[in-house]
Structure 1
Amino acid sequence: MTQQIETDVAIVGAGPVGLFAAFELGMLKLSSVLIDALSEIGGQCTALYPEKPIYDIPGHPAIEAGDLIANLERQMAPFRPATLLGRRVETLEGTQGGFTLGTDRGESIRCKAVILAAGAGAFGPNRPPLAGLSAYEGSGGVQYYVRRREDLRGRRVVIAGGGDSAVDWALALRGIAASIQVVHRRPKFRAAPESAAQLDRAAERGEVEMVIPYQLHALHGTDGKLEAVEVADLDGGTKLLPADVLLPFFGLSMDLGPIGGWGLDLERHHLKVTPATCETSRPGVFAIGDIATYPGKLKLILQGFSEAAMAAHAIHPIVRPDVALHFEYSTSKGVPAGTDAAPH
């Protein structure tokens, strides 16, 4: 028998931005259901790098991704949003004020508005084109995510890439890994300027070795046990880097899955939204976080938080057309007591 769920707003994606959207909706006394294909909340923060420090969350000079998710879960807890985990939303039918979403587990969610907070959609790592790669993936010699820094204690680590993940993990593994070598094809990194400056200072102190300008060329080892990473410079010269683990950070491949077939306006695999409300081209369907795009968009969690608040306020008149919304600061009204925001 199909399970029927009634709620004000369905949130597709239970990463940090989706969790904050549930809180913002609760503050407006709107109920919500969080739906995610992963088996636990937190999105990439939980699945890929729970111990990775995040430095640009207001009020937290540094906070590990897993701790951020735990805080967001506590923050939304008073509103008791339902969670449907390990499910993928397959269908979206209806119009603003009367949508029905169907999952691959057979649930049917009826709601008045939808928030798409699906991050990069279904994600997977971009793998380097190296011969014999799969053998080292299976043995742990090549890893695309770091769930526990302690797993790399005393290991010789080679990090490849030039973005935030490569720089942040090079910094985070200092004092844990036996050695850290960072391979990049050019001196300039596509990372936060302060993080890149910290990496430069770490290299000057000998905490990290910069292998520039080089790129990955081959892997060497026995029976899947990594022993060295071969790198090549732009002229074809090669050298071997002793290594127990290679961490290649070349971004994530993005697949919107069924969302891509819902007739929403797209721009390079992202959903185009109105900046003031985060509404997509389909009335009543909103997109926030990494999945959304508009002029001036920054792919920062803090911007996703702002989008969650804007979307929630834009949704209120859809769900409660006869109730005037008088904006109040949370310092004045606190968390609504006895809220009726729980779905049913």
Structure 2
Amino acid sequence: MLIVGAGPVGLFSVFACGQLGMRCHVVDALSEPGGQCLALYPEKPIYDIPGFPKVRARELVARLKEQAEPFSPTFHLDTLACGLRREAGKLIVRTTRDNEIYAGAIVVAAGAGAFGPNRPPLEGIENLEGKSVHYWVTDPQAFRGKHVVIAGGGDSAIDWAIVLSQICASLTLVHRRQKFRAAPASLAALSQLVDRGSVKLRTPYQLDRLGIVSGRLDHIDIVDLDGSRESLSAEILLPFFGLSSDLSALSGFGITTANNGIPIDPLTASTNAPGIFAVGDVATYPNKEKLLVTGFAEAATAARSAFAFAFPDRPYHFQHSTDRGAPSLEGSMV
């Protein structure tokens, strides 16, 4: 099986396919499994996962990786699936690493598609990316004792301002508007931090220029709507201006797309292209609820449908996980 996307639903697809004895290769554009959950809001609590009254995104991803691990998935990270041909009953997928993966079927769990950050138009920013400029946070402790500037007005900007204000030397939040687009509870917590001086608020301001000294970020110039300027001491810049998503890498797969999604038959998770299935946020059908639990259910459906496509002569014997015993591919048919 080839799974396109290593977010939560992609990781659960490894488990669902493994339960049927199928090995998986997983392709993802990011440098580690976890998708947008891990890239954008690893510390954010999630409340709609069955059995977890509250679980942080980072912990959920860790649990899903642990659940998939017994089935020994092969990950191809920092990689896109970019081409497909059919040969002798196999689907042969080409990647941007010039590899070819032979699969019996494909499950697309691409979320909103391959995504990248919306970069602010600042001269020299590319040379600082991954060092002084980060578009998502993987390890908050890396910013301990640093002078941090966060730019943006959405949930990611507010949530990380709250978290990082507890450990960094200084934190300034810059937003081009007076109003923020975040949960009321988060805004209330931010207001308290501003009142205590733990967070400096600069609104309505925009990033204007990076001050780079000896190849490192030293300060950031900001400007308001009247042209007034201010220079902020900064070792770290976190621009949270959202992500741009793209499904164009799958254009050669023969899949019908509509409104940045892939229409599927909800009874089978099948797309219009034989042997290709879609699950999670990328999959669309009437009255769909875009919840993780919906994607997990679609993954189980897709695994069964993919098994039937890849192995039409093999009987499908449904087993509860308790009947199978401890998860493993030992003794599997595939």
The residue number in structure 1 matching 2:45 is 55
Quote how far apart the aligned CAs of 1:139 are.
8.7
Select the residue among 105, 109, 112 that pairs with 1:117.
Answer: 109
Q: Deviations over 1:305-340 (max 9, x none)?
A: 343234334445445667466585x56776567765
Distance 2:125 2:260 in 1: 28
How many residues are treated as equivalent by the alignment?
Answer: 329
The residue number in structure 1 matching 2:100 is 107
Instruction: Please say if 1:248 is aligned against 2:239.
Output: yes
Question: Does the Cα contact within 8 Å between 2:83 and 2:252 map onto a contact in 1?
Answer: no
The residue number in structure 1 matching 2:16 is 24
Cα 1:133/1:310, change in 2 over 3 Å: same
Cα 1:324/1:133, change in 2 over 3 Å: closer
Cα 1:171/1:275, change in 2 over 3 Å: farther
Select the residue among 64, 73, 89 that pairs with 2:65.
Answer: 73
Question: Does the Cα contact within 8 Å between 1:139 and 1:225 map onto a contact in 2?
Answer: no
Question: Does the Cα contact within 8 Å between 1:187 and 1:213 map onto a contact in 2?
Answer: yes
Q: Deviations over 1:141-171 (max 9, x none)?
A: 3332333222211222111112232122112
- Which letter maps to 1:52? P
Question: Does the Cα contact within 8 Å between 2:150 and 2:237 map onto a contact in 1?
Answer: yes
Cα 1:317/1:133, change in 2 over 3 Å: closer
The gaps in structure 1 that reach 5 residues or longer are 1-8
- Which letter maps to 2:119? R
The residue number in structure 2 matching 1:150 is 141
Cα 1:207/1:308, change in 2 over 3 Å: farther
SS in 2 for 1:217: strand
Distance 2:42 2:166 in 1: 15
Quote how far apart the aligned CAs of 1:221 are.
4.6
Quote how far apart the aligned CAs of 1:298 are.
6.5
Question: Does the Cα contact within 8 Å between 2:151 and 2:173 map onto a contact in 1?
Answer: yes
Distance 1:105 1:153 in 2: 39
Distance 2:70 2:327 in 1: 9
Cα 1:290/1:188, change in 2 over 3 Å: farther
Identity over aligned residues, as a percent? 43
Instruction: Please say if 1:266 is aligned against 2:221.
Output: no
Cα 1:241/1:325, change in 2 over 3 Å: same
RMSD between aligned residues: 3.7
Q: Counterparts of 1:76-225 in structure 2 under 5 Å?
A: 76-84=68-76, 88-94=80-86, 98-103=90-95, 104-111=97-104, 113-134=105-126, 137=128, 140-225=131-216
Q: Deviations over 1:151-208 (max 9, x none)?
A: 2112221111122321221122121112222222334433445434433443344432
Distance 2:237 2:73 in 1: 40
Distance 1:308 1:248 in 2: 33
Q: Deviations over 1:3-42 (max 9, x none)?
A: xxxxxx3212233321111112223444433334566544
The gaps in structure 2 that reach 5 residues or longer are none
**TM-score, normalised to structure 2's length?**
0.79
Structure 1 stretch displaced more, 125-134 or 28-37? 28-37
Q: Counterparts of 1:2-41 in structure 2 under 5 Å?
A: 9-36=1-28, 40-41=32-33
Distance 1:332 1:200 in 2: 52
Question: Does the Cα contact within 8 Å between 2:3 and 2:27 map onto a contact in 1?
Answer: yes
SS in 1 for 2:251: helix
Distance 2:333 2:204 in 1: 55
Cα 1:186/1:304, change in 2 over 3 Å: farther
